[in-house]
């Protein structure tokens, strides 16, 4: 991975000041050719200790640690702290997301940290697959994003906007009759969130295995209002290596006039599953936690390594997993035990 030390100091300082001072896997596709372009040795070096992001002391992982400690599973509890003690994104759900957002914002404020959120409620979400749902119609989504923004207010926050929404239009899963509305809703959501004084917004752009041609994302991202966002997000809920994601992101960025991006490194420590099965993205065995969250990325285009997918949350009812988004402690433990950091 490239290192531009002088630019790194500047970029990291700017982002840190902004945040501290203040299929996805679910595409149903297999791993494409060249999905894994790097090996374990390619992973980014461990970042400097600490990050500007808030750690939820009441997360599923934190509660699991306490439960296992009480049951005498001390070694497992210690391993799971690799998740519980690190910041992961909050995914507010329901028709009114404000209570959960306010709780996260208040917790972050107490520690002078930045809250990390995923806005995931677009109508016709996930093409009716494992994560189906979302707002009922455009007006419902507009109301939802306004409530989301209201709950953040002037607190420092980072929002990853609508995993899968762009890529599902590019791959044809979201039917054309929904495209115009979706582009408009995404652009309006970006405008709504960017009225907040200390909120950064990154529009999701899939991963290099899902949409092999990065150029095919450029116009859709532009139509969705990427010019008003802070950048785009890659590898959300997926397992592509840092090297592969970074190289892909550079190509997308070039088509967008140098837009920055963030990378989901929550579960990519081993890279993607390579056995060619159709659901390599869904609860694949043998995976591990990736680079811990940090704004010290070693790359001027990469604003942050983030844990956007919550490690230990199921991808869906495959390989014995519970429903999508449900905490799965034994899978989380496997991720943690195989982690290098």
Active site residues: 126, 164, 315
Query: Are 328 and 288 contacting, i.e. CB atoms less than 8 angstroms apart?
Result: no
Query: Are 20 and 114 contacting, i.e. CB atoms less than 8 angstroms apart?
Result: yes
Q: What are phi and psi of 302, to 5 degrees?
A: -95, 105
Q: In the numeric block, which tokens belong to residue 14?
A: 């700017």
Query: Are 330 and 311 contacting, i.e. CB atoms less than 8 angstroms apart?
Result: no
State the DSSP H helix or E strand holding residue 122, giving kind and residue range, or none if neither. Answer: none
Number of Cβ within 10 Å of residue 329's Cβ equals 17
Radius of gyration, alpha carbons of the chain: 18
E strands along the chain, which residues? 115-119, 157-161, 199-204, 231-234, 260-264, 302-306
What are the Cα distances from residue 10, in Å, to 4, 19, 202, 263? Answer: 10, 14, 20, 19
Helix axes 329-337, 74-84, angle to 10 degrees: 80
Contacts of 278 (CB under 8 A, 6+ apart): 28, 29, 30
State the DSSP H helix or E strand holding residue 46, giving kind and residue range, or none if neither. Answer: none
Give dist(CA 312, CA 64) in Å, integer. 11
Give dist(CA 153, CA 325) in Å, integer. 27
Find the farthest-apart pair of alpha carbons in the chain and give their distance in angstroms, rounded. 55
What is the number of alpha carbons within 13 Å of residue 171 lying toward its C-beta? 24
**CA 46 to the chain's CA centroid:** 19
């Amino acid at each position: 991975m490239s290192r531009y030390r002088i630019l790194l100091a500047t970029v990291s300082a700017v982002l840190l000041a902004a945040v501290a001072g203040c299929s996805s896997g679910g595409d149903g596709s297999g791993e494409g050719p060249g999905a894994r372009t790097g090996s374990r040795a390619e992973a980014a070096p461990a970042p400097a200790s600490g990050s500007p992001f808030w750690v939820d002391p009441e997360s599923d992982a934190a509660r699991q640690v306490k439960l296992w400690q009480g049951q005498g599973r001390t070694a497992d509890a210690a391993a799971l702290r690799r998740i519980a003690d690190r910041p992961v994104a909050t995914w507010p759900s329901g028709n009114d997301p404000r209570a959960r957002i306010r709780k996260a914002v208040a917790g972050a404020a107490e520690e002078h940290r930045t809250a990390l959120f995923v806005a995931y409620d677009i109508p016709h979400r996930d093409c009716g697959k494992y994560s189906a749902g979302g707002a009922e119609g455009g007006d419902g989504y507009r109301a939802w994003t306004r409530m989301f923004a209201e709950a953040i207010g002037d607190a420092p926050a980072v929002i990853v906007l609508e995993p899968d929404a762009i890529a599902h239009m590019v791959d044809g899963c979201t039917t054309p009759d929904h495209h115009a509305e979706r582009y408009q809703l995404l652009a309006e959501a970006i405008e709504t969130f960017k009225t907040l004084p200390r909120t950064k917004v990154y529009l999701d752009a899939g991963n290099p295995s899902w949409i092999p041609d990065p150029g095919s994302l450029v116009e859709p991202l532009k139509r969705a209002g990427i010019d008003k966002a802070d950048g785009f997000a890659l590898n959300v809920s997926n397992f592509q290596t840092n090297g592969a994601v970074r190289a892909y992101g550079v190509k997308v960025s070039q088509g967008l006039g140098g837009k920055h991006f963030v990378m989901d490194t929550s579960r990519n420590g081993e890279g993607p599953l390579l056995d060619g099965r159709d659901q390599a993205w869904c609860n694949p065995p043998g995976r591990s936690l990736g680079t811990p969250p940090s704004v010290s990325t070693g790359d001027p285009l990469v604003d942050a390594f983030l844990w956007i997918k919550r490690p230990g949350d199921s991808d869906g009812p495959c390989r014995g997993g519970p429903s999508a988004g449900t905490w799965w402690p034994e899978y989380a433990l496997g991720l943690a035990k195989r982690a290098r950091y």
